[in-house]
Structure 1
Amino acid sequence: MYRNGVGILVDSELRDHVVKVRRVNDRMMAIKLIVGGFTLNIISAYAPQAGLDEEEKRHFWEDLDEVVGGIPITEKLFIGGDFNGHIGSSSGGYNDEHGGFGFGDRNGGGVALLDFAKAFGLVVANSSFSKREQHLITFRSSTAAMQIDFLLLRKYDKSLCKDYKVFPSENLTTQHKLLVMDLETKKKKKKRRVVDYRQKIRWGSLTSSSSQEMGEKLMDIRAWESRGDASSMWDKTANCIRK
């Protein structure tokens, strides 16, 4: 059984913006941040390797489905992890999920990842930019070179992803390469509300009966008397109407 677990590192400047941390199991965790008016959900995942029990693989995808399904579509979502699958070099029926720039041949694990992306309206960022082969490979051993680590985000947020990079010289372990996605989020501008503090007469609520009633009151207080100068008469009449 897998026991080491996954983790998420957060810059010290963003630490106070973390509002929720959820550790699902050894293979999955998620955090929620509020940054620049946006709610960001970051998920770190590690899929079971090829050859492991199919039941364990099924549980992994069910857990990931549950976590992603619980995130409102109004919030940003970014998923990164080792999915132990190959999505292949071309889109091959997954045009919305696969950008057409991949590596190698697709296998069952890659199909599972693309099916998951299709179900939740996601796109694989790794496949969205044309790169040299060395910047596609995320795992390299003495006998194999593969692309098994992926970054995903919602399709309608695809424009936020400006680039992704694999650093061939930087090893996360002895075999995995460092994978980075550049995101650009613009701070929401608050609409400036202009408030008119002047008193207004609600003429729309004036009915024939209320009009007659108001006229009688004005007559009773002699609002129309022609005494004094024009300014004083106007002020008296206007004040009566406001009242």
Structure 2
Amino acid sequence: MSEKEESEMTEIRKMFSAINRKLTVVEEKLDRNTEAMITIRKENLLLKESIKEQDSRLELLEKEVRKNNIIIQGVADENDEKEEKLTEKIQNILTKMGVKVDVEIDASEIRRIGTYKPNGNRPILVKLQKWKTKMEIYKLTKNLKGSDIWINDDFSKKVQAERKCLTTYLQQVRQQGSTAYLRYNKMIIDGKVYGKEHFEMTVKSKDKRTSSERSPLRLNSIKDDKAKNRDMNGQMNWKKRNKKTASTKIGTWNIQTMLGVGKMEEIAREMKNYNIGILALQEIRWSGEGKVDKEDFTLLYAGEDKQGRNGTGFMISKEYRDMIIDFKRINGRISTIRIKNKIANITLVNVYAPTEDASENDKDDFYDHLERACESIPKHDTMIIIGDTNAKIGKEKYLEKVAGKQSLHNISNDNGKRLCNLAAGTDMFIVSTKFMHKPEHKVTWMRPGKTTGNQIDHALISKKREKMVQDVRSYRGANVDTDHHLVIVKMKMRTIVNKKIKTENKKRWNLEELKEKKDEYESELGKQLAAEVEENDIDNTWGHLKKLYDKSDRKNSRQKTKEGV
């Protein structure tokens, strides 16, 4: 190779080396950009979740602000209407309805919504001070029948849009023969709750078809259910449709202590008032383990070694006491009972978890014992965990498989995360977060001296038996001097009833024949007695008399035969 060629090759090598260096720099920049993009995506996802949480918080806050408001429609409107005159109109309407309310005192604000139009009546917003006043007004809205005035709730714009969509389909559902009505942003169809997501709503602004043509209802399951309730002629079988399934109420209640005189009787009285079959109690604070039998109930309790701390137990009504198979004390915070059931026996696990402020060791120890207790339950049993878990269950997306969207809280606390991990590990569902209720019916513990509270008492059930639970909610009316509310789980149970023992048919007296043969019977018995030797032994004498009595009885046909019955 000539010197010229070698120099050219050297130049080419230098050029390739420079290109390689540039490529390396570009690759490094790409790597850095890729890492930056991944970081940005993660931050974007976190930001979206944060925005969703903020939206849900704002929605709850707006709902709370609008809770006591009402909208009055159909009241004659005037241009430059003064506040005093508007207040007078509202007062007259409520007085005619029969509501004993002083609007100037009970309402914080009264105003028209929107701008004045000559041919229209603007709705009137009335902000009431108390929820109780609003309920009194709603009870007497029937007195507005026949007038052009009606009263509605003050819904947010989002809820109004959802209700508008659902109203489009309400008439269609009713035409199918179903009983349907709107409740907040849901449609209730034959007792079942349906949201906007249950309907195919592919609405396009340029589509000129009607809403019924554009988006058919997704109600095949409802049609199938109704078809099952029709006879061969297509007529509705109302007996079958209206047949109610027997349900059992299982309750849980942190009573804080049962050391007070008469406390047990107070709890039993409330249990009877709410027709509860089995009531799980926490913080009994009795020592040891035992059983208390009363006429109307039985109490099974399991406490610590020393009196005054923790303790759980079950109060069982007299109708269910024969169904209890077994009762076990795990420790001062956990106990179980096993109940007879036709489909599968039910094991109730009663828990009183450490508070959120407790140490990590106490929480770990509690959940270790609880996991072992769950593992010891027979596989075919329906497992239910119930009690004071001190757990706030949030609405995080990753909890969808173990918790519902009807929880009172948006973010889970540490106890809530632990409870959800237990539910995932034992294939259970937190049914206390499943059912839609007012916020006050979700609160299970009230902050001392305040009007706010938390939902920390929960119920979990095996996922394969989740449909057994019909409802879960708290009841504020029950009172035994505790800051916890009574929580009731309504569920379907096919209990085993003890079979009646067949008894032999008793012999009946033929009274008519006895009257006719009275003299003959007495003479025959006298002859038999006269012919016998007197006995000294009382047992022998009675046996002898019985034989004579039966002999005379058979002879004179004193007993009715089957033909004579």
* TM-score w.r.t. length of structure 2: 0.32
Give 1:59's aligned residue: 365
| Aligned residue among 420, 438, 443 for 1:114 | 420
AA of the residue aligned to 1:148: I
**Letter of the structure 2 residue corresponding to residue 19 of structure 1:** I
Instruction: Describe how 1:217-236 pairs up with structure 2 within 5 A.
Output: none
Shift of 1:187: 6.3
What residue is the counterpart of 2:135 in the other structure? none
> Do residues 148 (structure 1) and 453 (structure 2) align?
no
Whether the 8 Å CA contact 2:407–2:433 is kept in 1: the answer is yes
Q: What's the offset of the Cα at 1:33?
A: 1.6
1:91-130 to structure 2, matched below 5 A, reads 91-104=396-409, 105-130=411-436
Question: Within 1, Cα distance between the matches of 2:390 and 2:379?
Answer: 27
| Change in CA separation of 1:50 and 1:187 when aligned onto 2, cut-off 3 Å | closer
**Which of 158, 169, 174 is matched with 2:482 structurally?**
174
Q: Which runs of 4 or more aligned residues in structure 1 lie more than 3 Å from their structure 2 counterparts after TM superposition?
A: none
Query: What CA distance in whole angstroms lies between the structure 2 residues aligned with 1:72 and 1:171?
Result: 36
Alpha-carbon contact 1:91-1:99 (below 8 Å) kept:
no
How has the CA–CA distance of structure 1 residues 75 and 172 changed in structure 2, closer, same or farther, with 3 Å as cutoff? farther
Aligned to 1:85: 391
1:24 alignment partner in structure 2: 330
Match of 1:196 in 2: none
Task: Report what 2:471 is aligned to.
Answer: 163
Which structure 2 residue ranges, 5 or more long, are not aligned?
Answer: 1-303, 497-565
Which position in structure 2 is the counterpart of 1:131? 437
In structure 1, the gaps of 5 or more residues are 189-243
**CA RMSD of superposed structures (Å):** 1.9
**Structure 1 pair 33–175 and aligned structure 2 pair: CA distance change class (3 A):** same
Listed one character per residue, the Cα deviations across residues 32-76 of structure 1 (whole Å, up to 9, x for unaligned) are 121335311011100011222221111100000001111133111
Query: Helix, strand or coil: the match of 1:35?
Result: coil
1:47 lines up with 2:335 in the alignment: no
User: Deviation at 1:170?
Assistant: 2.1
Q: Deviations over 1:11-41 (max 9, x none)?
A: 2122122121101111010011213353110
Q: Distance in 2 between matches of 1:174 and 1:72?
A: 35
State the alpha-carbon separation in 1 of the partners of residues 334 and 461 from structure 2: 17
Q: Deviations over 1:77-131 (max 9, x none)?
A: 111111112112x242111111111012311111001111010011111111111
Instruction: Confirm or deny: 8 A CA contact 1:164 1:182 kept in the other structure.
Output: yes
Cα distance change of structure 1 residues 82 and 187 upon mapping to structure 2, 3 Å threshold? closer
1:21, 1:30 within 8 Å by CA — same for their partners in 2? yes
Alignment-mate amino acid for residue 443 of structure 2: I
C-alpha distance in 2, partners of 1:37/1:162?
17
Return the letter of the residue paired with 2:380.
T
Kindly, what percent of the aligned residue pairs are identical?
Answer: 24
> Structure 1 150/173 Cα, relative in aligned 2: closer, same or farther at 3 Å?
farther
Deviations 1:136-179 (CA, angstroms, capped at 9, x unpaired): 11001224410100011011111100111211222454210000
**SS of residue matched to 1:97:** coil
Q: Where does 1:31-42 land on structure 2 (aligned, <5 Å)?
A: 31-36=337-342, 38-42=344-348
What letter is aligned with 1:99? G
Letter in 1 for 2:434: S
Helix, strand or coil for the counterpart of 2:312? coil
User: Counterpart of 2:349 in structure 1: which amino acid?
Assistant: I
Of stretches 135-144 and 157-166 in structure 1, the one that deviates more from structure 2 is 135-144
Q: Which structure shows the higher strand fraction?
A: 1
Q: Deviations over 1:192-216 (max 9, x none)?
A: xxxxxxxxxxxxxxxxxxxxxxxxx
> What number of residue pairs does the alignment pair up?
187
What's the secondary structure of 1:8's corresponding residue?
strand
Question: CA separation in 1, counterparts of 2:339 and 2:494?
Answer: 15
Larger RCO (CA under 8 A, 6+ residues apart)? 1
Distance 1:171 1:124 in 2: 26
| Distance in 2 (alpha carbons) for counterparts of 1:4 and 1:135 | 26
Alignment check: 8 A CA contact 1:91 1:98 kept: no
Higher share in helix: 2
Q: SS state of the match for residue 65, structure 1?
A: helix
What is the letter of the counterpart of residue 325 of structure 2?
A: V
The DSSP-based 3-state class of the residue aligned with 2:391 is coil
1:180 Cα offset (Å): 0.4
Larger radius of gyration: 2
